[in-house]
């Protein structure tokens, strides 16, 4: 079924992703894509898998609108595949085996056969091909909308707070200034957050770069970790964790030329942003 699923994704994405007129089926698929991404933001990919399992578990033969309910659950499952694949690709994380194409395709095929919507692999292929491209589009649309959930003016306000705090820590001398980057996401058990990463060259007249990492909560309160990354390379949200890849300074490195690519895991504990773990990944020489 793996090849069948991948072929369906490619065919459907090319021919259906640009559809403009919304049918009842489109609305159902769109709702599933939105739920998939909202659930991911709230509980990570494990939360999506739990939602998929619960959705399938609520299906009953003979229930009202069974076909529509099955379609919603299948679309939610495919939305999980889309999210897991794209997050893994963007952040260079390993795929979750529960949402690998072969696992999802076999799971969906079994559901379609159980409720009489497929009698063969060809039937399942046709079912995929008619829907996968739209599910992929609607899931990605939900992600794009979510990225603007925190208003730009609010993010600018957070950045201003971080710059002011950094300027105080640098005794008013930030050298080349303070550069900031914002990341918005959701942490399981915490809710929506905005992380601000900031860095300065020449803080208080020093030669080594100085960096800060803050998290801002939905109520506007914030927390700063006392163990920030040395040189942030990437940042992603995973369940209740903020996963950072950073170039850290090794024993043989000059402070201005770090080479140790390291994964840093941060968690919020009692509204405090804390480093929960670190793992060396590789040597990276520029």
Condensed to tens digits (0 to 9), the pLDDT of residues 223-246 reads: 999 999 988 988 898 889 999 998
Quickly list DSSP for 136-151: HHHHHHHHHHHTTSS-
Give the pLDDT confidence of 21-56 residue by residue, as tens digits.
568 898 899 999 999 998 887 788 899 999 999 999
Give the pLDDT confidence of 167-189 residue by residue, as tens digits.
999 999 998 899 999 998 888 88
Burial code (b: 16+ CB inside 10 Å, e: under 16) for 65-80 equals: eeeebbbbbbbbbbbb
Q: Which one, of 205, 197, 189, 282, lies nearest residue 241 by Cα?
A: 189
- Going through the chain in order, the beta strands assigned E by DSSP cover 178-187, 191-201, 209-217, 222-224, 232-238, 241-248, 260-269, 272-283
| Average pLDDT over all residues of the chain | 86
Looking at per-residue pLDDT, the higher value among 98 and 150 belongs to 98
Model confidence at 7, pLDDT cuts 50, 70, 90, reads very low
Give the pLDDT confidence of 100-133 residue by residue, as tens digits.
999 999 999 999 999 999 999 999 999 999 999 9
The answer to whether the beta carbons of residues 196 and 216 sit under 8 Å apart is yes
* Angle 25-73-82 from CA coordinates, rounded to 5°: 90
Contacts 24+ apart (CB under 8 A), 48-57: 48/76, 48/79, 48/80, 48/83, 48/84, 48/99, 49/80, 49/96, 49/98, 49/99, 51/76, 52/76, 52/77, 52/80, 56/111
CA dihedral 34, 40, 45, 50 (to 10 degrees): -70
pLDDT value at 148 more than 60: no
């Amino acid at each position: 079924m793996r090849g069948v699923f991948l072929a369906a994704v490619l065919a459907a994405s090319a021919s259906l992703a640009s559809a403009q007129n919304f049918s009842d089926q489109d609305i159902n698929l769109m709702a599933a894509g939105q739920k998939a991404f909202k659930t991911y933001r709230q509980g990570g990919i494990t939360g999506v898998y739990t939602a998929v399992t619960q959705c399938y578990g609520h299906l009953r033969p003979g229930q009202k609108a069974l076909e529509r309910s099955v379609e919603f659950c299948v679309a939610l499952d495919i939305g999980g595949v889309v999210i897991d694949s794209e997050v893994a690709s963007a952040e260079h994380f390993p795929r979750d085996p529960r949402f690998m194409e072969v696992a999802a395709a076999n799971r969906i095929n079994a559901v379609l056969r159980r409720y009489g919507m497929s009698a063969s692999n060809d039937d399942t292929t046709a079912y995929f091909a008619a829907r996968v491209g739209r599910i992929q589009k609607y899931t990605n649309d939900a992600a794009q909308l979510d990225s603007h959930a925190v208003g730009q003016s609010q993010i600018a306000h957070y950045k201003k707070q971080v710059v002011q705090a950094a300027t105080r820590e640098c005794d008013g001398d930030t050298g080349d200034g303070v550069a900031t980057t914002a990341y918005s996401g959701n942490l399981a058990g915490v809710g929506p957050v905005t992380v601000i990463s900031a860095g300065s060259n020449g803080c208080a007249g020093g030669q080594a770069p100085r960096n800060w990492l803050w998290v801002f909560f939905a109520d506007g309160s914030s927390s700063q970790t006392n163990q920030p990354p040395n040189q942030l390379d990437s940042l992603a949200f995973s369940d209740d964790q903020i996963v950072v890849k950073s170039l850290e300074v090794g024993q043989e490195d000059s402070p201005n030329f770090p080479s140790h690519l390291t994964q840093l895991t941060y968690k919020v504990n009692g509204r405090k942003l804390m480093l929960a773990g670190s793992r060396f990944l590789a040597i990276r020489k520029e």
